[in-house]
């Protein structure tokens, strides 16, 4: 069977190109061998379910594993204690019926079946005793895995169920119970937000404070991606620069599993079309990856849809992201702060040298596009860019000099009389709003996160294989401006470019609005002052 890249559901090693996660599985097994109860809390489409599936396959000889999922359980499952216990027994019985837990005694099988019937009314005490019976009669230590626990996270009966499991854990020396329990979901199960009812305050509870800390890094490294691409390369008998391609994929994704898999899938199936043929197979190039990035940023998928919903539900997180992206605001990383904790849990934020940062370049650009689109709805400078878009492309290439010149003219016409405070807050956002419709149909852009602060932001533009760098900064005198020129020259050297652009927002009343060419350390810099 021909292997493919997979970005939905479980990945199977015999069907899909995958990163090798053997070392991660060993780390998880060490927790299980030590009898730990723990939760795998990671963002959506982070490889949790695939890891649990492979873990079950790996440990089935040593342990009796009941792996269930709360996905798809309706509200009726949480209507009362008896309904919930019946559903849990039903899920356990499914595992037994399909032989997924290995050898089970007829007595346990029959009891589990009876407790799952609609006519049965098992309560939590009955369920607790049944769990003990399973563990007494099992030939091997028993593990319980519950995936998609978020489906039940705001249900009071689920918290009571966790409390029962916690009580059994505390008495495990004298009363048989599960050797290990793994809960998997997005939200941190140790700090469940329990909505007790409409109009009442949300409460925080900790029914799972027995959990060991789960520190396994589920992000893919560039080396991980190399291994996956090496297998693809050998299967397709093509020659490509694996290391360079893997590093570029990592630069854009930060190793977020879904983003890595989806980029590879797009290159294979839609760009090179290697996935559709056995002849004339093409090696992957940098341009292929950039095209895949563009396609990914433009598509609707469950990850981006979920991001939109999460931002709509949290004005605090939304505002924080805007401050980071458009103002370059440095926010100290504090996991106790609600919006930071939320953004980290959803996979949008990370801790970078003690400050809050956007998790990866794709999320960052998707967020920029989201906010810029909102701002473009009634924005005169965006209209100016759209109306003049055709003049900025000559012989298929972007005339960046003309883009900068026209921005200077339009910015001065539209915002020349605006207040200093407005311009300081919005100058960089206005330039990106102007730029996006010009390059939108062909090119990509991203903001270099390592250079973004309150005073400076660097934008990297890719257009038909050509790169352009624009450094945006707020004017703070000639000396600071010269340092900016030196910084840009160094940055151009890093990118192996000879020419760059410096956009200065100068709020002095006597400033001269101008565009000029300067030379700095062997580099040509087009400087625009507005």
Each residue of 155-169: pLDDT tens digit?
Answer: 889 999 999 999 999
Regarding whether 241 and 175 lie in a shared domain, the answer is: no
- Spell out the residues 6+ positions from residue 315 whose beta carbon is closer than 8 angstroms to its own: none
Please name which of 158, 203, 204, 205 lies closest in space to residue 183, comparing C-alpha atoms: 158
Rounded Cα–Cα distance for residues 290 and 263 (Å): 9
For residue 56, the number of C-alpha atoms closer than 13 Å in the C-beta half-sphere is 23
* Cβ–Cβ < 8 Å for 447, 368: yes
Rounded Cα–Cα distance for residues 145 and 298 (Å): 36
What is the band of 419 on the pLDDT scale with cuts at 50, 70, 90? low
* Cβ–Cβ < 8 Å for 265, 274: no
The pLDDT of residue 377 is 66
Regarding whether 406 and 485 lie in a shared domain, the answer is: yes
Q: How many helices (H) and strands (E) are present in the chain, helices listed first?
A: 18, 16
Regarding whether 508 and 426 lie in a shared domain, the answer is: yes
Check whether 8 has a pLDDT greater than 90. Answer: yes
The pLDDT of residue 164 is 96
What is the band of 424 on the pLDDT scale with cuts at 50, 70, 90? low
- Whether 347 is in a domain gets the answer no
Which whole-number Å values give the CA distances from 332 to 328, 329, 335, 358, in the listed order?
A: 13, 10, 10, 13
- Whether 213 is in a domain gets the answer no
- To 10 degrees, the CA torsion angle through 372, 376, 382, 388? 100
Please name which of 510, 529, 508 lies closest in space to residue 518, comparing C-alpha atoms: 529
Regarding whether 182 and 137 lie in a shared domain, the answer is: yes
| Residue percentage of the chain with pLDDT more than 70 | 95
Check whether 201 has a pLDDT greater than 50. Answer: no
Please name which of 12, 162, 144, 159 lies closest in space to residue 68, comparing C-alpha atoms: 144
Regarding whether 36 and 159 lie in a shared domain, the answer is: yes
Domain count, the chain: 3
Please name which of 275, 274, 273, 252 lies closest in space to residue 263, comparing C-alpha atoms: 252
The pLDDT of residue 198 is 38
- Whether 12 is in a domain gets the answer no
Tokens for 514, please give them: 């101008």
Characterize 434-451 residue by residue with b for buried, 16 or more Cβ atoms within 10 angstroms of its Cβ, and e for exposed.
bbbbbbbeebbbbbbbeb
Range with the poorest average pLDDT among 27-41, 435-449, 450-464, 479-493: 450-464
Mean pLDDT of 82-109: 97
Backbone angles phi, psi at 142, to 5 degrees: -105, 135
Higher pLDDT, 388 or 526: 526
**Number of other residues whose CB lies within 10 A of the CB of residue 76:** 10
Check whether 111 has a pLDDT greater than 90. Answer: yes
Regarding whether 114 and 246 lie in a shared domain, the answer is: no
Q: 494: domain range?
A: 389-529
The pLDDT of residue 132 is 98
Mean pLDDT of 252-264: 98
CATH number at residue 52: 3.40.50.300
Radius of gyration of the chain (CA): 28
Backbone angles phi, psi at 256, to 5 degrees: -60, 120
- Whether 195 is in a domain gets the answer yes
DSSP state of 177: -
The pLDDT of residue 511 is 85
- Spell out the residues 6+ positions from residue 143 whose beta carbon is closer than 8 angstroms to its own: 32, 59, 63, 64, 65, 66, 178, 179, 180, 181, 182
**Number of other residues whose CB lies within 10 A of the CB of residue 223:** 13
Regarding whether 130 and 67 lie in a shared domain, the answer is: yes
What is the band of 214 on the pLDDT scale with cuts at 50, 70, 90? very high
Regarding whether 199 and 231 lie in a shared domain, the answer is: no
Characterize 330-352 residue by residue with b for buried, 16 or more Cβ atoms within 10 angstroms of its Cβ, and e for exposed.
eeebeeebebbbbbbbbbbbbee
Check whether 362 has a pLDDT greater than 90. Answer: yes
Mean pLDDT of 335-349: 93
What is the band of 190 on the pLDDT scale with cuts at 50, 70, 90? low
Check whether 195 has a pLDDT greater than 80. Answer: no
Tell me the Ramachandran region of residue 115: left when phi exceeds 0, alpha when psi lies from -120 to 50, beta otherwise: alpha
Regarding whether 199 and 112 lie in a shared domain, the answer is: yes
Mean pLDDT of 101-107: 94
Tokens for 212, please give them: 């060991």
* Cβ–Cβ < 8 Å for 476, 488: no
- Whether 170 is in a domain gets the answer yes
Regarding whether 176 and 106 lie in a shared domain, the answer is: yes
Q: Domain boundary residue among 233, 268, 299?
A: 299
Check whether 514 has a pLDDT greater than 50. Answer: yes
- Whether 248 is in a domain gets the answer yes
- Whether 325 is in a domain gets the answer no
The pLDDT of residue 241 is 96
On average, the pLDDT of the chain sits at 91
pTM: 0.91
> Which of 57-66, 200-209, 456-465 ranks highest by mean pLDDT?
57-66
Regarding whether 28 and 174 lie in a shared domain, the answer is: yes
Check whether 203 has a pLDDT greater than 50. Answer: no
**Number of other residues whose CB lies within 10 A of the CB of residue 239:** 8
Backbone angles phi, psi at 232, to 5 degrees: -60, -45
- CA angle (149, 150, 152) in 5-degree steps: 75
The pLDDT of residue 194 is 38
Rounded Cα–Cα distance for residues 505 and 481 (Å): 11
- Whether 319 is in a domain gets the answer no
State the chain's maximal CA–CA distance in angstroms.
90
Mean pLDDT of 71-84: 93
Rounded Cα–Cα distance for residues 111 and 413 (Å): 79
Q: Domain boundary residue among 274, 299, 324?
A: 299
Q: Domain boundary residue among 153, 178, 205?
A: 205
Check whether 28 has a pLDDT greater than 80. Answer: yes
Regarding whether 113 and 254 lie in a shared domain, the answer is: no
């Amino acid at each position: 069977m021909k292997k493919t890249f997979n970005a939905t559901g479980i990945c199977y090693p015999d069907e899909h190109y995958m990163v090798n996660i053997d070392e991660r599985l060993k780390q998880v097994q060490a927790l299980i061998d030590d009898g730990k109860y723990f939760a795998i809390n990671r963002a959506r489409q982070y490889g949790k379910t695939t890891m649990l599936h492979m873990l079950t396959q790996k440990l089935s000889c040593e342990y009796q594993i009941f792996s269930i999922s709360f996905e798809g359980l309706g509200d009726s499952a949480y209507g009362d204690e008896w309904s919930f216990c019946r559903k849990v027994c039903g899920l356990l019985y499914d595992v037994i019926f399909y032989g997924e837990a290995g050898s089970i005694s007829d007595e346990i099988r029959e009891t589990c079946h009876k407790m799952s019937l609609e006519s049965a009314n098992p309560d939590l005490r009955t369920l607790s005793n049944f769990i003990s019976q399973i563990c007494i009669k099992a030939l091997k230590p028993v593990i319980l895995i519950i995936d998609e626990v978020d489906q039940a996270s705001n249900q009071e009966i689920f918290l009571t169920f966790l409390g029962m499991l916690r009580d059994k854990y505390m008495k495990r020396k004298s009363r048989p119970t599960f050797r290990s329990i793994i809960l998997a979901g997005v939200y941190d199960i140790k700090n469940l937000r329990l909505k007790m009812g409409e109009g009442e305050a949300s409460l925080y509870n900790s029914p799972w404070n027995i959990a060991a800390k789960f520190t396994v890094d589920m992000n893919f490294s560039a080396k991980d991606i190399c291994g996956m691409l090496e297998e693809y390369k050998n299967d397709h008998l093509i020659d490509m620069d694996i290391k360079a391609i893997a590093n570029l994929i990592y630069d854009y994704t930060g190793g977020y599993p879904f983003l890595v898999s989806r980029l590879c899938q797009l290159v294979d199936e839609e760009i090179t079309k290697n996935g559709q043929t056995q002849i004339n197979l093409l090696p992957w190039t940098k341009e292929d990856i950039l095209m895949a990035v563009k396609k990914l940023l433009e598509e609707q998928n469950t990850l981006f849809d979920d991001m939109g919903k999460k931002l709509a539900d949290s004005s605090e997180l939304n505002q924080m992201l805007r401050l980071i992206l458009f103002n370059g605001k440095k926010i100290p990383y504090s996991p106790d702060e609600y919006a930071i904790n939320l953004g980290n849990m959803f996979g949008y934020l990370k801790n970078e040298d003690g400050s809050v940062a956007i998790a990866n370049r794709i999320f960052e650009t998707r967020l920029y596009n989201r906010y810029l689109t909102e701002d473009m709805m009634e924005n005169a400078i965006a209209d100016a860019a759209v109306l003049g878009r055709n003049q900025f492309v000559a012989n298929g290439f972007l005339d960046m000099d003309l883009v900068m010149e026209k921005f200077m003219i339009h910015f001065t016409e539209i915002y020349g009389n605006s207040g200093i405070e407005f311009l300081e807050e919005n100058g960089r956002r206005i330039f990106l709003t102007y730029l996006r419709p010009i390059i939108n149909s062909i090119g990509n852009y991203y903001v270099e996160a390592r250079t973004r602060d309150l005073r400076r932001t660097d934008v990297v533009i890719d257009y038909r294989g050509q790169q352009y760098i624009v450094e945006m900064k707020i004017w703070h005198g000639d000396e600071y401006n010269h340092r900016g020129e030196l910084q840009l020259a160094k940055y151009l050297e890093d990118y192996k470019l000879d020419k760059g652009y410096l956009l200065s927002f100068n709020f002095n009343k006597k400033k001269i609005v101008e565009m000029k060419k300067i030379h700095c350390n062997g580099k040509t810099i087009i400087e625009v002052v507005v």
